[in-house]
Every structure is written in C-alpha cells, then in structure tokens.
Amino acid sequence: MSEIKKVVLAYSGGLDTSVILKWLQDTYQCEVVTFTADIGQGEELEPARRKAQQFGIQQIFIEDLREEFVRDFVYPMFRANTIYEGEYLLGTSIARPLIAKRQIEIARQVGAEAVSHGATGKGNDQVRFELGYYALEPNIKVIAPWREWDLLSREKLLAYAESHGIPVEMKHKNGGSPYSMDANLLHISYEGKGLEDPAREPEADMWRWTVAPEVAPDQPQYLELNFEKGDAVSLNGVTMTPAVLLAELNRIGGQHGIGRLDLVENRFVGMKSRGCYETPGGTILLKAHRAIESLTLDREVAHLKDDLMPRYAALIYNGYWWSPERRALQTLIDHTQQTVNGWVRLKLYKGTVMVVGRESRTDSLFDPTIATFEDDGGAYQQSDAAGFIRLNALRMRIAARLQRKE
Amino acid sequence: MSEIKKVVLAYSGGLDTSVILKWLQDTYQCEVVTFTADIGQGEELEPARRKAQQFGIQQIFIEDLREEFVRDFVYPMFRANTIYEGEYLLGTSIARPLIAKRQIEIARQVGAEAVSHGATGKGNDQVRFELGYYALEPNIKVIAPWREWDLLSREKLLAYAESHGIPVEMKHKNGGSPYSMDANLLHISYEGKGLEDPAREPEADMWRWTVAPEVAPDQPQYLELNFEKGDAVSLNGVTMTPAVLLAELNRIGGQHGIGRLDLVENRFVGMKSRGCYETPGGTILLKAHRAIESLTLDREVAHLKDDLMPRYAALIYNGYWWSPERRALQTLIDHTQQTVNGWVRLKLYKGTVMVVGRESRTDSLFDPTIATFEDDGGAYQQSDAAGFIRLNALRMRIAARLQRKE
Amino acid sequence: MSEIKKVVLAYSGGLDTSVILKWLQDTYQCEVVTFTADIGQGEELEPARRKAQQFGIQQIFIEDLREEFVRDFVYPMFRANTIYEGEYLLGTSIARPLIAKRQIEIARQVGAEAVSHGATGKGNDQVRFELGYYALEPNIKVIAPWREWDLLSREKLLAYAESHGIPVEMKHKNGGSPYSMDANLLHISYEGKGLEDPAREPEADMWRWTVAPEVAPDQPQYLELNFEKGDAVSLNGVTMTPAVLLAELNRIGGQHGIGRLDLVENRFVGMKSRGCYETPGGTILLKAHRAIESLTLDREVAHLKDDLMPRYAALIYNGYWWSPERRALQTLIDHTQQTVNGWVRLKLYKGTVMVVGRESRTDSLFDPTIATFEDDGGAYQQSDAAGFIRLNALRMRIAARLQRKE
Amino acid sequence: MSEIKKVVLAYSGGLDTSVILKWLQDTYQCEVVTFTADIGQGEELEPARRKAQQFGIQQIFIEDLREEFVRDFVYPMFRANTIYEGEYLLGTSIARPLIAKRQIEIARQVGAEAVSHGATGKGNDQVRFELGYYALEPNIKVIAPWREWDLLSREKLLAYAESHGIPVEMKHKNGGSPYSMDANLLHISYEGKGLEDPAREPEADMWRWTVAPEVAPDQPQYLELNFEKGDAVSLNGVTMTPAVLLAELNRIGGQHGIGRLDLVENRFVGMKSRGCYETPGGTILLKAHRAIESLTLDREVAHLKDDLMPRYAALIYNGYWWSPERRALQTLIDHTQQTVNGWVRLKLYKGTVMVVGRESRTDSLFDPTIATFEDDGGAYQQSDAAGFIRLNALRMRIAARLQRKE
C-alpha cells in the first residue's frame, strides 16, 4: 500500500465518510483530500469543511454542482424518457457519474493516485462510482473501504468512531434514521431496515419531500412548462436555469404529494432490493416531456426511442454513463430533440399529474385537417386505406391459404 | 358486386351501423347477418335485435363474449405490461381481434362471402378488423362502407337515415355526444370534436366511467390482488373469473378517479390524433402485475420483456394480434409467467394507485439474507464486487489508456 | 388529370421507360422531362438523350451521379455493416433514394407538378421511389404507369410500342434477357422467369459481373484496404474516391468470382420473391469493414450496432432512407465511426474473401499485453474473474436455491 | 479448505489438467473424480482413463456425449442462425454448458462438494463453466486453479509436472503446438502465440480440419440437406442422427476448404482477442438453415428472430446458456421452427458454399402466382400499392409540409 500518497475522498461530512476519512489516514498512512459537492441534497456543506479541518485535511474541495448536475446529467437523461424497470426515475444513478468525474479531475489537480468513496460492497453505487473512475482515469487506484475493512455492522462503526475521536451525533447514538437515504435535486431514496420486507407498507413518517396525497391541497394546481429542444426552460412563463426549475418543480410537486414510489428493483450486482423514492419534480417533468414529444416527434422516431429506452436506462442504472455505448445512444437521443419545442399544461392534484394541454407553434406534427372526423376536404383519401390494409395483410393471407390446403 | 350474397356485419344497433345495414342491403342487394357482442360496453343488446328484425334480418347473432375477451385477449396482453407510446393501455385495440374472429366464424357458419364493419377510413380500427379477417380467412371479402360511400358528414348520414326510414333517436338529432366513443370491459375512449385541439383541456362532463379525483372519497381504499401465472385470479381473497374481476376493478377504480388519460397518439395510418381514455381496472392491474413480477421475475427476463414490450404493444395497436410474430412473442411472454405467483396490496386514493406490499410465498427471488444492509453472515462476499467492477471496466480502461497516449 | 402540365420521368432509355414516356404524353397530355443518371449501371447514356429527343422532349437531364451515390449512400450504409435478412447487401435499395432526390430537385427546377417512374406495382422499388418523393416534396403528384395502365404483359407492351412508333430492338422482339435486371456501382440483380422456381439453380450464363469461381484464377490475390472514419479511402496504398474504389473492387472481385448470391427475400409489399445478385466489391468491403471495426470499436458499441443493424437494413430495404428514423440511426452509426481507422488485408480466391490481417496504429483497442496467454506482468488480475463470475451468477444462484426448496 | 472432500474435475488427460489433478490432490488434500467427455474433439479417451488411474483416481467418468451435444446444444443454437459479432459460430461457447451440466450431475451422484476446470482466468471459458455450475447447483464450490496457483507460465507448469512425476510428452518438452486449441464436433479453434498479432496472417500449417481452398478438389460438390422443424435430419437422402450428420458435414466441408475464419473478438471479461476457427459443417448448416427459413418463415417472424439473434448469441458467448433469459428466447425460437421443413441444395467449391435450390412441399410461403412478373390473373391488385405507399408516407409528408412552412 506504500504507493498511495494521496487519495481524494467523496466526503459528505456524515458519520460514515468521517470514519472512512480516519480509516484511510490510519490504514494507508496517506494524505486525504476531501471533496464535498452540493447536488441539491439539501444539507449545509460548511459543517463538512469544519469536520475535515478537524481531521487535519489540507485540501478541502467544496463545490456547488447543482446546475451542472441538472443541465448535463438529469436533462440529457430525461430527453430519453428514461425509466428503469417500468417505474424508477434513476435519481441516485444519475448523480454518481458527476461525482466520479469531479473526483478524478481533483485527483489530477492535486496529484492523487487514488480515490475513495463510501458506498457499500452490495450496492449499485460502488459500481457507478468506480466505472466512472476507471473510464475517465484508467490507472487510478480505487479504495472502497466497505469492501476492505471489518466494520460491517453499525455497532462496530460506532465503536470505531468513538475510539478514534470522531464526533458521533446524538441521532446516531440513538440509532438515527431507520433508513439508508440518498438525496439530490432529482430525488430522495430510502432503503434498508423496515423496508427489507417488501410485503410491508413503509411507515407514513418515512417520506420527507412530499406530503401524503391525503393532506395535499384540496384545490388542484395548473402549471405550464415550456420546452426547447427537449429541455424544460421555463415554468409558468418564467425562464429558469435547469437547477432552479427542477427545484421549483420539486417544491410544487412535493406540496401536492406527487412522485412517491415504492418498488422492488434488480441491482446490477445480482440481487433484488426494495427501495422507496420521492421524485416530485422528475415525475412532472417526465410526464410533460412525453406530452410535448407526442406532438412534435415522428411516430417511428418516438418508437425507436421507446425501443432503446430500457437499454439506455439499464446503462445508467448500472453505472455506464461514461461508456461509449451510452454516448452513442445519447447522440441519437439528442438528435431527435431538435423539434421538441412547445408548451405543456399540467394539472396537479393529490398525487396525480395529468396532462391537460400541449401545443407547439413551430413543430407540431398534429394536423387537424387530417385528423378530423369531419369532412377533411380530401386531405386524406380514405380509399388509400384499402390498399394499405390489403398489402399489410398479404403475407398473412398467403400463410392462411397454405394452412387451409393442409 | 354480384358475387356477394351474404355479409356478416358487426352491428352495434346504433345509428351508424344501422345506416350501414340498410346501405349494404340497398347497395349490394345481399342478405345481411348481424353480429352484436357484449364485450362489456355497458349497453343492452336486445334493442339491437329488435332493430335488426325491423330491417328484416333473418340471422341475428347476439353473444356475451365478456369472459373470452378478458381471459384470451386482455389478460395475455397484460402479461407483457403492455403500454403503447408510454401511456395508452390499448383498450380499443385489444377488442377488435375478438370481434374479427367471431365475425369470421359466423361467416363460415352461415356461408357468407363477406364481412363488414363500421370503422372509418382514417382510423386504426378498420386495420385491426381487416387484418384479423384476412389472417383468419384469406379469401373473405371485406366491405368497409365508410371508405366506399359518400356519406362523409354527419348531416348526410342523418339525411340518409331519415330518407330510408331508419329511426334516429333524439340525441342524434340534437347532435348527440360531442365525442366519438368506444367502450368495452377494459376502457372507454373519447375522440373528435372539442378534443381535436390538443391544447384544450377536455370538458369535465366528458368522462363517464370515473369520477373526478376531486370528488373521489376522502378515504383511501386498500385492495389485494392475487396472481397465478401472471393473471389476476382473486380480489381481496375472493376468487373471480377474469371478466368479473376486471369489472369489479373498474367499479372500484372508477369510484376513486383512477385511470383517466389524455394523450396525442400516432395512428398506424400515419397521422397523430388526440384521444382521452378511462381505464380504471386496467390501470390498477398493470401496476399490480409489475409489482408481482418485480418479486418473481429474474432481472434479465424482466429486462428482455421490457425491451420487447414496445414492439408487442405496437403490434396490438396496429392490428396484428392474429399475426405469427405476435404469437411468437406471446409464447415467450407466457413462458416467463410460470413463476409470477403471489399477492399485491394496493392503495387507491383520488386518482392514484400505490403499491404498498407484495409477497410470493412460492416464487419470490427477493432474498432478504442477501439484500440486507446488516451483516449477512457471509451470504454475499463484498470483495467479489471489486473483480466484478474491474472486469466490467476493463474495456473502458483500455480505451482510456489509448486516448491518453494520443 | 388536367392539373398536370409537366412530369419528370426517371428515364433509362430502355423499352419500358420509352413506352412510359409516350404513354405519359398521350394519357396526361403533358410535357415530359426526362432524367437519366449514371450510377454505375454500365450503360451508355447518350442513346437515352437521342431517344428522348425523338419523342420531342425539350428538357433532358443526363447526370453522372456515381461519386455522390457511393459517397452519400453506399458508404453510410456500409458503416452499419448492413445486410438484409442475413444475406442481401441492398444493392438496388440504396440507389433508389438518390434517384428520387434528384428527380424532385429537377421537378422543382423545371416547375413540374409530377414525377413518374417505371417500377411495377408488385415490387419494392415503387415504394422506395415514392416514399422518397413524398418525404422530400409532400405535395408532388406521382404517376406510376404500371399501376395505372393495362399493358400488364410483355406482349401488350410490345404491341403498344410498335403501334406508337417506339423503336423495339431486336433483343426485345426475341424475348430479350430472360431476367429482369438492375445494376449500379454496388451490384447487379436478376429476377423473374426461370428464377421464379426457387428450387432450380440459376443458369450459368445468367451471371454477368463475376466469373464462376471455377474459372477464376488459380492464384489467390491479396489486397489491402485503408479505412478512415469507417470509409474505405485507399486500395493497396493508392488513394481513390469512393466510386473509383468501389469500381476497382468490383473489377478485382469479379475476376475472383466473389459476391454471387441466390436467395428468397421478403418484399415490403408482402410477398416472397427469389433474386440473384452479384456484389463483388460490396462483399469485400463489408468483410473488411467488420475487420477494422473488430479492432477499433468498443465491444458494447459494436453490439449496439449489431442489435440495430437488422432494423436499419429493413428501413433501407423498405424505402425509408429519407425518413427521420433512418437519419436518427445514421447519427448514431456515424458517431461510432470516428475511431474506425486502419488497414485490413484480404485474400481473394475463387469466390472466397478471407481477412488475413488488420491493424490500426491510432485506434486499436486490442491490447496484446492483456490478451496474451503468457505472463502479462500483472496487467490483468486473474483473481478478478472470480468475483466477476460470482456476481454475474448471483441471480441464477438465488433462483436455483428457490427451486431446490420447492 | 478443509471442507472440500471430493472434487469433480473436467479432465482431458492432457498436460494441463493432469497438473491440475495433481495440484488439487496436493493443495486440497481431497479426492478427485475425473470426468472426460467425448464431444467430438477427435481424441481417444482411454489414455485419459489410464492417466487418471496412475494418479490413483477411484471414480473415473468417461462418456460419449456427442449426440447429446449436437441434439440439445448445437441444433437449438442453429435454429436461431446464431453468429457472434457477425462472424463467429460459437463452437467453443456451445460445448461448455454441456460439460458443466454433466459435471454437476456427477458431483451430485458421487457426493462431491466442488468442481474444477482447466480454463484460465483471462478467458471466456471459465465464465461459461462457472455460470453453468452456479445456475445448476447454487451452493457448489468452484476451484479454478489457474486463478489460484502461481504456475502462470508454461515453464513453471512443466517444472511442476516434472517434479511431481507427471509424464510430459515429447511434444510439450519441445514446446508443443504453438497454439492453444479447442475442438468439438462443431469446430476447432486456435489462439495464442503467433496469432497474438492481429496484423499477421496465420501460418498455413496451423489449420487442421480443412484443406486450404487452393488444394481443395477442382470439381464442385452438390449436397442436399433435409430439415424438419428447423433441424437437419438427412443428408443426400440419408437420414442421420444429429452427431453423425454434423460429422459428415465436417468431413465433406473440410475436403472443400470450407469454414475457416480469422477474427478479432470481444471477450466477456473485457479484452479483445484474436482467434482462428474451422467450422466446416456449421458453416454449411447455417447457410442451409437460413435458406429453408427464407421459404417457410413469415417475414416479420424472420425479422424478429434477426433482431433478437445478436442478443441470443451474446448470451451463449458469455456463458448464459442455463440462464432463464436464454430459455425464454429459446421458447420463442423453437416455436417459430414448426414450419421450417423442406430441403436445401448447396454447392461446395474451394471454400465457398452456395445455396442453389430450396423447396418446402408442406410449408412454402413462396407463392409463384403472386410473385410472378407475368400476368397473375388478379391474385395481387397492383393498385393496392398506391394506398399502401401513400399511407406509409403520410407522416413524412406531414413533416415535410411543416418544414416548408418554416
């Protein structure tokens, strides 16, 4: 282990990564550089600086990455209407590539040979971090303490903390939250403890970002989103940056109890796990994006995107954001979004999001003169359909004739 | 046209197909056999018999196909978690193949050379009917009056009716419903008139099967669905036939404002159209089926199904139910459902359906001893993940090394 | 028909399109503009000019499109390793979009309301021409004489020609070639007559571009192709334009009996047909392109391309070159070709093409220090494979444990 | 390591697995059971028995699995027209699942806790063996000596052999074959040594199963294969079992220099490697199977199979034969083969295989009355094509109109 002199740690300031910080110093006898990012998790970052200083850290990176996160990761993903396994909006998955990228950039800047993270050896996040590291810096050393050390239970971790002078907050002493949580501008997730029985409903007080639909306002709220090239650019007529817009959608969606999800998912490492998620803004955004695409995207392009979407979603879920195949797919997806311009009106009410109107003044492929059930003045020749059907049926008729002979 | 002596007409008893009946008699000088099916559209069938008799029809077929419809068409489709274009549950599409099949069977029974239907030349239904006819009876003659006659406006149709002694109900004289509607046990749909502007919200009194979420009960309702081989077999512990179960889900879902949908879709004949749908039972069923699959289906099997689903959905939407490729896909889908056994608990509330629990005593692949964040006693070796990640990263590392050399 | 004053005809100068020319003049009473293109069919074009003049044509377009054809159509298609139904290199399909495009451009230039072609109503070519016309000029009128007139047998056609003073060459009077042929720089095709029985071997004297392998040289020939961004740019060290290179490959491949194909294919209009093809240069090019990709393309990118290829091939076969979905796929395909640089050495011998070497000095992802079976000095940790396998097996182990319990 | 009392070793009798045998005895102090299978590799098995006896092995399994191999593995794979990365017929990949299955069955029979194999830690075969083991017996222990020991060079291996009294044949002392080879009834493969430079042509004397095309007979040979439900059942009118038929095709194909392949492939473990293959019988079989399918398979079914094939091929290449997703795909593939009945005639000549005829008396979907270019007496209405094209073009026309407005 002598070769590692400096390691860049993805540091939240919480108990786990504080223990890791200390453990790295002790085990690897190396300098630790901390990197703490604001990606909208809703926690103050300055405490992380103070704690790092207490460990004698010399190089402390604290950065606000919220705009980059939404603009370069969340928005591109939503252009594909991405959903994993029919339900999950990939809130955790999409944040890891950004962290990995910045960690590698910092490692280069400070001359570190290694990077480290606090993800466990059972989950997807270790894969997402490390595939990113390796793809961007092929010779980087990766230290994944959860796979190396023997602090595999919470008791051992607390004991280590106490014996090494790491301040443990009261909530941890009392057991802390019963859930393992992760949050960023796109979502907050819950795993572990009571959720480990998929037959049991989560407790009502678990949810943090959204109110229960039952206590949401009795009045529905309408909102209007404007899209340019597939990206939401304004809300109710007010132009906003991506991060501001998503934050605002989270706020409004949360008020209306929108975006709760309770599911069993398949991890890349081979097991099923149960997770709960709140994605208020993302739930609204997905619905709206599909609606504006329904008006502005050619049918076969839309179907091509639908056919490729599960694959694209699995790539992101599995941590392949920085892979050449994800980039190739993104090229196709982005190409299709040039015409995805217009507005969508939505109605929010007690957990539901309903599209109630959509329009594209520049790119609508909806042609009322053809679609109408009324007389269309010859825009569409109904007799064409006879030949269309007969030729589409031809191969089946030939087969049926053969069967009848037999 | 002299070769057609007998034609089997899909006859609803309504104004349009009554005009068609008369028009067939007059234009083709042939005997018309009527076929009226109960597929859960919620209308009485006996009036159709009386009307047919008034036209002098000798052979009148009136049949209750509700169980066959749900068992052999709706349920197989739901095994694939079928959604068209991300939203539409294919309520209309799935009913046509059954009608087509029975019409052909009746044509054989009565010795008819032709079949006829009341679908227009602009829509998908003509394709669905006729692809079915041709696939099942390759030499059948198809008469599609809407593509042949000149009654292309409602005024002309009413004039024809009046001048030919076809009783026109008051509602038609007054313009009738402003929407073109279609209903069966899976859904009711609305098209046309005010909906032809996709920017406008549908009027509140359009919806017929569901209450508005705003007036749904203030108390959520829980229900439990039991699945066997991918099909729902009991509700809240009561075993039900497919049609009874779906009807009950419709009733309950409708009370809670579940399953409304407003969208712009791409028709097979090449245009976009706007439609609104109510699919209360289907919306619940889809959610529940995904949930039981999440527990009992292997990850890669589930992803294979997800990858194929849009193609399967397009086949059904486009009318290829009776095609060999749909059957081939169905073989795969059905094969995967052997282990899809267990129950799902759902919570319904003001338009929302939330899965709150799922269990499979016989087929759950969720292994809590492995999934746990707690100490698992060695069931899973965390160190395995290092090699897993490194080999998955290898190709990207090789590429990155090459790029750095350049 | 009065609205058509001018029509642009795709005119080969042969008997069929000469009859069409006359028929258009007579039937539509309109001015005909002829368009004759050299796409490498190997026939002189000046006779077409003289014939057109004999019909009194005022505007005659004769153009050499060979470079554009290979550069903008053949090469992009080969970047995808395109094969239809496992065998067919799409030689006819890929030429039609170019003809359609130029015809429309000429129609705009001369102010014609209509275009016309000589493809029959049973084949794919009518679809390929007309989808191109409509996609590029949505309001164009299309005249497809074979679907309109009654000259459906060769006898009637000849009779029409004679009675209208159209010179019929001796070969036609004698029945001419027993095959319907089509040629361009990519291939020559044969259909019809003796080929209509798929059980019978084509006659030896049918083939025109390649010698029989039996009479090819007894000495193999090696050649080397250089690729830049996926396109062949030089042959045996000599830089060539696309059309020159493909012509040279045709010449060499033809000498060695390479690229004969005899197959039954599925037409877009719903029937199976039997065709024979000679594609000497294309056969070499495809093999070489795959070889250089095997060295320079990431595995998952290559697999993504392979997964999409049949769909891309069907799009081109069916005439959707100018569709938005083909363009979207092309964007992805082209994006992947940036690293496809290097040379491939091939051995040609009596109908076989064998890759015997390939190298990319700039973009090879083949890493001999890792691939070696010898000691690699730690470049690859064999122990990583254990974890890789165990996690990849995990879901199957969980399932197997469940099965054993039952 | 004390828990392993008995291990079943896949034992070829060669030097490597003999060293492994001894190493297992010494390292694990356990009883070794040897399993040697004839899958058509063309080597005598009795020497393996004698060698095993010399090591004191008590339980020796020697089995002829050739028929099972071809019937249950090769044939099902060929029903899908399986090719990996456009070229490779998967000869090695398809044999591993059978070995794994028998090894597990023997382990159960003899009460062994572990299985072992001689595949290295860099290749695909370790994955194929072990995914099979784990899928069939989830709690099996796997010993992969190449990943555990330190005998990583040939010199060390030979030294170990000599010092442990393992007889080393002269060929090994002299360096033996310069290639790593693997053979079974489907193919023989070559890797390593001189092949590790993909730019260099393999030496002429490497190839063992096929003559060079240059020295193949000057007379072509015709042969006829009969298929039932997608499987070849007779050759030139003689009914044969699968293994006998494939062996005979190998013999004939080998004489004509058919089935040589030189490629760079992407291994599942993340690296590219260069391999050479001889698959004479398989090359003929694939060509013939596609030909009989071209006549008997519906177009859309054929395209569905083509779309899924690369995925199916990757599953087999990567070792997922025993996975639920491979089984699900197989269900679909097998379902499609019911109509794949008939004969194919092929011409073999100096490395080429050409289909020259195909016929299915019971299931041909080729309808000459429709396909003909001659007058078809109305079987196909050419005018139908106009409507077919116009509706297929409609979405593109609408888009083009929109673009022109802008």
- Closest approach of chain B CAs to the CA of D316, in angstroms? 14
Mutation target for B interface from A263, A306, A348, A390: give the one with most B CBs within 10 A.
A306
Contact criterion met (CB < 8 Å) for C384 and B391: yes
DSSP calls for D134-202: HHH-TT-EEE-HHHHSS--SHHHHHHHHHHTT----HHHHTT--SSEEEE-SS-EEEESGGGGSTTSPP
pLDDT at C287 over 50: yes
Please tell me the predicted confidence (pLDDT) of residue C388.
97
Kindly report, residue by residue over C345-388, the tens digit of the pLDDT: 999 999 999 999 999 999 999 988 886 666 666 678 888 999 99
- The pLDDT tens digits for A231-263 are 999 999 999 999 999 999 999 999 999 999 999
What's at B289, amino acid-wise?
H
pLDDT, one tens digit per residue, over A37-90 is 999 999 889 999 999 999 999 999 999 999 999 999 999 999 999 999 999 999
Are residues D399 and A300, on separate chains, in Cβ contact within 8 Å? no
Report pLDDT digits (tens) over B313-331.
999 999 999 999 999 999 9
Q: Smallest CA–CA separation between D287 and chain B, in Å?
A: 23
Q: Give D-chain residues touching B331 at CB under 8 angstroms.
A: 331-332, 335
All residues of chain C having their beta carbon less than 8 Å from the beta carbon of residue B394 are 370, 380
| C-beta of residue C85 within 8 angstroms of C-beta of residue C275 | no
Among B301, B311, B391, the residue with its CB nearest the CB of D325 is B301
Q: Which residues of chain D neighbour C399 with C-beta distances below 8 Å?
A: 135, 324
Cβ proximity of C202 and C278 under 8 Å: no
CA angle centred on A168, ends A163 and A169, rounded to 5°: 165
- Burial A146-184, CB ≥16 within 10 A → b, else e: bbebebbebeebbebbeeeebeeeeebeeebeebbebbb
pLDDT bin (cut points 50, 70, 90) of residue B1 is very low
Distance from CA of residue D104 to its chain's centroid? 21
ipTM score over 0.90, yes or no? yes
For chain A, what is the mean pLDDT?
94
Q: How far apart are CA C290 and CA C276, in angstroms?
A: 24
Residue D374 has pLDDT above 70, yes or no: no
Does the domain formed by D6-65+94-177 have CATH 3.40.50.620?
A: yes
Point out the residue among B270, B325, B331 whose CB comes nearest to the CB of D300: B325
- How many CB atoms are located within 10 Å of the residue C1 CB? 10
Chain B partners (3+ C-beta pairs within 8 A): A, C, D
Instruction: State how beta strands D6-10 and D31-38 pair.
Output: parallel
* Chain D residue at shortest CA distance from B315: D300
Q: Chain A: nearest CA to B362, how far in angstroms?
A: 14
Of A370, A391, A401, the CB nearest to D388: A391
Predicted pLDDT at C116? 98
DSSP 8-state symbol, A217: -
The confidence score (pLDDT) of residue C228 equals 98
| Residue from the list D299, D362, D398 with its beta carbon closest to the beta carbon of A406 | D362
Residue D377's pLDDT is: 66
Identify the chains in contact with D, defined as 3+ C-beta pairs within 8 A.
A, B, C
pLDDT at A1: 43
Helix (H, G, I), strand (E, B) or coil at C221: strand
Binding site annotation covers C326? no
- Whether B84 has a binding-site annotation, put simply, is no
| Partner residue facing C213 (CB), from D191, D352, D355 | D352
A312–chain B nearest CA distance, Å: 10
Residue D380 above 90 pLDDT? no
Residue D2 predicted with pLDDT over 70: no
Burial of D29 (0-12, 13-18, 19+ CB in 10 A): exposed
Please write the tens of the pLDDT for every residue from A113-140: 999 999 999 999 999 999 999 999 999 9
pLDDT at B3: 83
- Interface list for chain D against chain B, based on CB atoms closer than 8 Å: 266, 269-271, 298, 300-301, 303-304, 311, 320, 323-325, 327-329, 331-332, 335-336, 391-395, 398
CB pairs under 8 A between A and C: 71
Q: Is the Cβ–Cβ distance between A24 and A116 less than 8 Å? A: yes
What span, in angstroms and rounded, lies between the C-alpha atoms of A214 and C39? 70
Q: Is the pTM here over 0.95, yes or no? A: yes
**Would the annotation count C311 as a binding residue?**
no
Q: Which helix (H) or strand (E) holds D283?
A: helix D280-296
Q: How far is CA D17 from CA D5, D14, D51, D119, D143, in A?
A: 19, 6, 11, 9, 13
Nearest to D386 among C147, C196, C271 (CB): C147
C1 has pLDDT over 50: no
The mean per-residue pLDDT over the stretch C276-281 comes to: 98
- Best probe of the A interface among B142, B346, B397, B404, by most A CBs < 10 A, is B397
Q: Which residues of A touch D392 (CB under 8 A)?
A: 388
CA distance D395 to C322: 12
State the pLDDT at residue B195: 92
Q: Please write the tens of the pLDDT for every residue from B21-49.
A: 999 999 999 999 999 999 999 988 999 99
Please write the tens of the pLDDT for every residue from C56-83. Answer: 999 999 999 999 999 999 999 999 999 9
Query: Is the Cβ pair A388, D388 closer than 8 Å?
Result: yes
- pLDDT beyond 90 at B379: no
Q: Known catalytic residue: C180?
A: yes
Q: How far apart are alpha carbons A329 and A323 in whole angstroms?
A: 10
CB contact under 8 Å between B198 and A269, yes or no, is no
| Interface contact D383-C121, CB threshold 8 A | yes
- Cα–Cα dist C29/D293, whole Å: 48
The answer to whether residue D375 scores a pLDDT higher than 70 is no
* C189 annotated as belonging to a binding site for a ligand: yes
**Cα angle value B217/B221/B224 (rounded, 5°):** 155
> Two tokens at B112?
């008819």
Q: Is C93 annotated as a binding residue?
A: yes
Q: How many CB atoms lie within 10 A of CB B29?
A: 11
| C14 is known to lie in a ligand binding site | yes
Q: For position A276, what pLDDT does the model report?
A: 97
Residues of B identified as active-site: 16, 96, 125, 180
